Structure 1
Amino acid sequence: MPAMSQRRIVTGHNANGESTILFDDMGTNVTHIPSWDGLYVTELWVTSEMPINNDGVADQALRPMKHDPDPSGSIFRLVEIPPESKTTFNAGGIFTELGSSNKPSEADARRHPTMHKTNSIDYLVVISGEMTMEMEDGSTLLKQGDCIVQRGTNHAWINSSDTPCLLAAILIDAKPAP
């Protein structure tokens, strides 16, 4: 199990149409990515339509792991990235296990093996730890509380610290960037 987890509260409506708490847990859909030991992804909520349908009581986070949102969909997830000094990874395997069609190109992999794009706009917050967001032109160190708007750009997450970094991420389907 991941070293870090966060409480998840999901609201909805009961049979009388009154607001209620449907789920209050630590997020039950946790996926370890074997090709990157220590990498965990916890799906908190997933949608597959726009506008989003807020009816129903099913746990929409319970689905097989997919890196990118469905067309017109969104994903709310936690990503725990281990320190690179304490783990090994197989970049091709990572993206295959995540079900991603946006695998690093050979040129991108020379910069960092996990350099990739997404067909989404991603809103991220560093919950704990720190890491570097590597871009094609520069990089920046991200620390607890930092907020990122990742607009389908080529990027990699590099954890050079001694502890895992926990990100909260909201991915929303978008046109592929150039």
Structure 2
Amino acid sequence: MIENIRRAIAGYTSTGKSTFVDSGIVPPVTADLYPGATYWLVWGTEDGEMTVGANDEPVQKPFFPGPGGSRLIAVRFAPNKAAGQGAGAGGETSPEALEAMRADAEEKFPGLFEKHAADPADAAFHTTDTIDYGFVVEGQISLVLDDGDEQVLPAGSFVMQRGTRHAWINRSDEPALVVYVLLGAKRVGPQI
């Protein structure tokens, strides 16, 4: 199982030659509101027209990019049984504790909670104005769509998620690691 996510960032010297401007381990981020999930916020770009040539810093907030922006993230999903139904996952929790978990999640992943909270019937479901390219690195993950339409995606699977209402669920007994590229988009089709 992959324990560390590494990134190497190529950029420019002051004379315009290519060089590595950063390299190292990406710190994992967790939030009690999303039990069993570990996130690595690897890289992101500003919304709008993408440019190259400058040594821009990564943009990682808000969690979902606006039109023209991008995010590169990795997520490890614990098996649903291991994540349990504890705090933040539909379990028994005081309003004060739940509010503290929401504030913590919003600080770490601005905008992620509001997309999940939009569907009180099932907090795992969310809809974003992004085109997401996903690659299952380890384990398997289920992509669940409306009306229970579901596909199990084993390691080695690519998935293209095009702004539809969906949920990611690990129904297996092993953790799943998925890498996503999120591209901010303008919604022109059905309004959700």
> SS in structure 2 opposite 1:85?
helix
Deviation digits for residues 38-92 of structure 1, max 9, x if unmatched?
312111111113322323335415x5x5331134311011111111111235258
Distance 1:117 1:71, change over 3 A: same
1:85 counterpart = 2:85: no
CA distance in 1, matches of 2:153, 2:186: 26
Q: Which runs of 5+ in 1 are unaligned?
A: none
Counterpart in the other structure of 1:122:
132
Q: Which runs of 5+ in 2 are unaligned?
A: 90-97
Counterpart in the other structure of 1:43:
41
> How is 1:1-178 mapped onto 2 (pairs within 5 angstroms)?
4-28=3-27, 30-61=28-59, 63=60, 65-87=61-83, 88=86, 90=88, 93=102, 96=106, 98-100=109-111, 101-102=114-115, 103-107=117-121, 109=122, 113-137=123-147, 138-176=149-187, 178=190
- Mapped contact 1:10–1:22 kept (Cα < 8 A): yes
Deviation of 1:118 (Å): 0.9
Q: Stretches of 4+ moved more than 4 A in 1?
A: 94-97
> SS in structure 1 opposite 2:26?
coil
TM-score in terms of structure 1 length = 0.83
> SS in structure 2 opposite 1:86?
helix
**Number of residue pairs the alignment of both structures matches:** 170
What letter corresponds to residue 68 of structure 1 in structure 2? F
CA distance in 2, matches of 1:32, 1:124: 20
Deviation of 1:140 (Å): 0.4
RMSD (Å), alpha carbons? 2.5
More helix per residue: 2
CA distance in 1, matches of 2:48, 2:62: 18
Structure showing greater Rg: 2
Percent identity over paired residues:
27
What letter corresponds to residue 46 of structure 1 in structure 2? G
- Mapped contact 1:134–1:157 kept (Cα < 8 A): yes
> SS in structure 2 opposite 1:106?
coil
CA distance in 1, matches of 2:141, 2:14: 45
